[in-house]
Chains A and B, each alone.
Chain A
Amino acid sequence: MRKDDIMIVAGLAFLILCVQNIDCTSDKSMQEGTPWNYDYTRYHPVSEISDWMERVVTENPELVSSSVYGETFEGRNITYLKIGLGSEGVQKKAIWMDCGIHAREWIAPAFCQWFVKEILLHYKTDKKLNEMLKNMNLYVTPVLNVDGYMYSWINESTRLWRKSRSTPPEGCTCHGVDLNRNFNANWGTVGVSRDCCHNTYCGSGPVSEKEAQAVTQFVGSRVDQILCFLTIHSAGQLLLLPYGHPHISAPNYDELMAVGQAAAKAMKAVHGMDYRVGTSPDILYPNSGSSRDWARLMGIPFSYTFELRDKGEFGHLLPEEQIQPACEEAFEGALFIITYVHDKAFYNRTEIGAASVARAFWATVLGSCLATMYLL
């Protein structure tokens, strides 16, 4: 066995891997496109997130644009980042992701920012990601409940606010509606309170809240385009499928479960964290009026609620030291689902393993070549 042969094989494998899924050069020089000096491992207030969004668009015009698609109760913009490659005017398929529908779930907006950063870092070198961005747009809303999120930043006593900040209805004295009980999906039937002072108050009527209206209007007018609806929450380490009502099942329940469980497996592979998968009435509690349910009822075939870390030790007050690992595992889960949904739409490929075949294969090639080099 000649040394040159080994070097050629090893070098070739290494080169192929660099072009494929494994990022060989994740040093600072590859961080083109991500705003410098932005710390993705800290929580940021709305003003910083807005600035960051502007910079992401300015520095990546070929990939990212932004748009205001609604207004909060207090008159603030609700903005998404639209991420995709290729020409406008083409009706592209799309993925929807929103974060921070519940004010106190700070890890959720942190994840949306992390997610965008990962896309920016890898879309040029990751062939699969590049392909998906050519075929689909990603609509990412880093903070949906802007009023509530800002309120939770006022001081320690407001930190655990959950709802919107709309004014009290007639005959009641407390602010805010639980936006994730306000959508037109079996609204007001189960898992809600009619008391405006409660944290699961579903509002005076379905889609009474401007924030819910914004999502309803935007997503509702693009139902045929949107392949997947992901809504990001904390905490509990769960992946929830439709529906929140215990007596209704989605027609593609089996597939939703299979994909969800595979995504949870991918998440666990990162840092060993368990994420339970199932409908809300099975694994958590029944609920109605959730955005996830509404999206599925509208015909969007894949709709999931991500409940990120943790399982109760810190709850919503997740330490900043955990932002990175929480986001790393959530990213794998989200990417798995997005990849599956893409491959199903564009290649009619529904084998669960398909999404990870490429990675496994090239990991094998590397393994064998490294073993070769070591043994000789």
Chain B
Amino acid sequence: MAGDCSIRALWILNNLDAVVFSRRFPAVEKRWRAACQSENESSENDSVKYTVFSSLPSDSELAAAFSDRKTREGSVRGFGIRVSQSKEGSDSWVDDPITRHIAGFYINREEEGEDNLLWPLALHIKGPYCILILPLVEPRHVKAYTRLCKRSDCGNAVMADENLSSLLLDLPSITGAFMVAHAIGDIITGDVADPEVIVSQSPSVGGLLDSLTGSIGITGISRAKPVAAPVASSVPSGAAAIGALASDIPKSGSRLLDKDALRSFISSSMPFGTPLDLSYSNIFSIKANGFSSLDIPPQDLKQPAWKPYLYKGKQRLLFTIHETLHAAMYDRDEIADSLSVSGQINCRAELEGLPDVSFPLTGVGTSKIETLSFHPCAQVPERNVYKQALVFSPPLGNFVLMRYQATCSLGPPVKGFYQLSMVSEDEGAFLFKLRLMEGYKSPLTMEFCNLTMPFPRRILSLDGTPSIGTVSNAEHSVEWKIITSGRGLSGKSIEATFPGTVRFAPWQSQRSTSFRSVLEGTTDDDSDNEPENANNMVNIEEFLVEKMNKDLPPVDLEEPFNWLAYNYAKASFKIVGASISGVSIDPKSVSIYPTIKVPVELSSQVTSGDYILWNTLGKCPSAVNAEV
């Protein structure tokens, strides 16, 4: 029964490659050893004999293996794909980006001989910590992976008899390990905020514990919530700072690991190493609260494990539609602008008992919605989710009811172009011509709108005055605050232009070879390979691009492209009042069973994700959309 998501051990390392926390699960380990033994017995007659590494490393051994891999693979995550430095037997030899997440460690232990591969290790980096989870798999899987990463041929060919994809499909324990890793990561960094639900009276409503403490009347339980998360924290992609090089290396942090909290979470969520519930708020409130004899379970119904408490008090139902708008604005004939919305409906159901809530999804039926996915509590109709009502039995506290990807039904809220042209080697002239909120009617309100132009080169001075708003510049970016918060834009559209020039510090070649050598391998590009000179270049832009490229480090595989290679401006804004995908909930059509009348509140907000205006005069990345 190795199929469940058991984990054998977990380790947390800090940014000094030292183990700060570890936990082993002997009951799981015993199953692993038994499996190894029978595997070895059964493979005794095999011509190719190799045994799997059957024991668990100590913390020091693991830490050594960790830094070994880091050295071997260039970074904590590793190369991910096969590069010239990749060694046979290493993860990047397998040539799959997922090896940046699923790592194999070679434990250096003398008595174990060569077969010391510890695989799979779910690797999750959060804050200054690196979390490693070792799930239980079958020894044959480890052997299969060993063969994969030692295969002498070109790599993980598709349709090969043995491939990583099939392996991963067969191993839900890896999936489970990542769930555990993320849960633990959130706990050790204190990043355990519930999804945000906005109500009209107060700006936002807290999670499960707030509702609990409110309903039960306990005050004074302070929550471990040191990091205020203004936007939905469950959006991982929003966190990465755009333009900046999101580094592989765990960020340094001074926060000490709260080992007790972690221990108690592990003890409750996976007492024997098999995760049972990874919801931090559930576990935490059970730990903090306990149960009183007054908590009476419902009659006839079983109380779900994901809802340990039942709400008591004034009933209401809150929905918040939260959308993030991603855009790539080209203003070119040959490349179409692209706009995509990723949205979610957050919900907070302050309802007594175990009712079912249902409502029809309006706007979802149109072709604007590309994908939908739901919280496990939702009963998704088997046929055509778009036409029928969505029924769900809400858990306590704030939760994400559903997620979707959609196209923007309205036009882009920030429309126009950005042009930057280098008039000399160190001076660029730029022009913005934008139209904000064109075609957006009330109640859609743009609360604020900023535009940032990041530059890899140091800015010396900035000239130019925008037609609206204020401008400031930092060392490597120019920020244009078009609409400042407090004076929202609603019911009308405005035009904003901003011509100006920016002067940069003289070019300095920063040949940080250590930085670049990661993917580059051994290249001795002495001056030979240099194209003749500037006179061969078409213009100064080409020349600069050429020059810049020399210093351009390769980006991590987690980045969509090398931001530093392009000129662009990034818009950030917030629009409230309605969704822009057209997804909506009609409060009147929300029904609750057993029937009860409760007030339903709906709010929406749209924030910008990667909203990029590419320099019309420069190079820009693009992608082809598939015709579905």
The judgment on whether A and B are partners is: no
Partner-B contacts on A (CB < 8 A): none
Interface residues of B (CB under 8 A from A): none
